[in-house]
Amino acid sequence: MKYTILEEFKKYLILNGLDETRWRKALQYVKYCELNNLDYCNMTYSQFQDYGVSITRRTKESATFNACINTVKLFSKFLVDAGKANQTLVDDIKRIKLQKTERKIRAFITKDELTEILQMAETFVEYMDPVKMRAILYFMFYTGLRRNEIINLRRADIDLAKYTVIVKTPTKNRMERIVFLPRSISPTKTHHAVNVTKMLEDYFAIEGENENAFNMNARKFQVLFKNLKDFAPNNKLSPHALRHSFARMLAKNGIDSRIAQKLLGHKDISTTMIYYDPDIDVMHDIYNQKIK
């Protein structure tokens, strides 16, 4: 990596349990400062404003703007923590307000679609053992864990006998929580029953634990989902899409929102409640059940 400061920032992200890919947006920011002869250790509020304007000129997406500003906030905090800048740097970037975004649930898939994706992937994706691929995807679909939570997971945290998983720090909210594995997944009209714990047992039997429970890192996840999206509806599939699928499944099956909040690890219940705003399919199902 050309910029040593970004190597240090990447380590900072990893040690704090944050998404290490944020260094890429930090790289954009460092290059902006370099191009405009600015010192990222001594930015002023006015200069931060100019950077914000440059983002809005490059993109009209509020989510992109917010992601860039949040990364700069984090990068500035890293500089202060590392003794490279004064606290005023963080105070000034905090004055930049985030843009309002329309709260939408991202792409999700159903359990039938997951089965179909795997059937295609097991035929065409040759670099990963299908036993491992199946274990990872079903685990993500039925626990709703974030990608970084899975990267931090050890096999000792998974109790197959009790169908529980302890999600330890570091996590997004610095809290430990327990999530559960389904004892069995009932068959549908088109697919047979699924046993998630058996899938995990089969995978653990063929591959030892090296990096973490699934021996996956951010790069390996990126490669895996790049290969899988071709088999997904609308070519949209990501680790977070599986998390959204889990959250939507909780809401659709009437799981209490407070329980869902704990399972998902949401700090704010309002984040969980996004999934409890009924969509057209849910309303149609209820209408058909009640109106006879």
Domain boundary among 60, 94, 128: 94
Answer yes or no: is pLDDT of 118 > 50. yes
In a domain, 118, yes or no: yes
In a domain, 104, yes or no: no
> What are the structure tokens assigned to 31, written together?
């290059």
Mean pLDDT score, 139-165: 95
pLDDT-derived band at 77 (thresholds 50, 70, 90) equals: very high
Domain boundary among 65, 94, 123: 94
In a domain, 183, yes or no: yes
Confidence at residue 50, expressed as pLDDT on a 0 to 100 scale = 95
Rounded Cα gap, residues 123 and 191, in angstroms: 17
In terms of domains, do 22 and 75 share one? yes
> What are the structure tokens assigned to 6, written together?
């970004």
Domain boundary among 51, 67, 94: 94
Confidence at residue 104, expressed as pLDDT on a 0 to 100 scale = 60
In terms of domains, do 35 and 125 share one? no
Q: What is the tens place of the pLDDT at every residue in 27-71?
A: 999 999 999 999 999 999 999 999 999 999 988 788 788 889 999
> What is the number of domains present in the chain?
2
Calculate what percentage of the chain has a pLDDT beyond 70.
87
Q: What is the CATH number of the domain that holds 220?
A: 1.10.443.10
Instruction: Identify any residues that bridge with 178 across adjacent strands, giving them in sequence order.
Output: 166
Residue type, 81: D
Domain range enclosing 124: 111-290
- Of 257, 122, 235, 249, nearest to 182 by C-alpha is 249
DSSP result, 219-230: HHHHHHHHHHGG
Confidence at residue 20, expressed as pLDDT on a 0 to 100 scale = 72
In terms of domains, do 175 and 51 share one? no
Q: Is 64 exposed, middle or buried (0-12, 13-18, 19+ CB in 10 A)?
A: middle
Q: What is the CATH number of the domain that holds 18?
A: 1.10.150
Q: Pairing state of beta strands 177-180 and 164-167? A: antiparallel
pTM over 0.85: no
Q: What is the tens place of the pLDDT at every residue in 188-224?
A: 655 677 899 999 999 999 999 999 999 999 999 999 9
In a domain, 106, yes or no: no
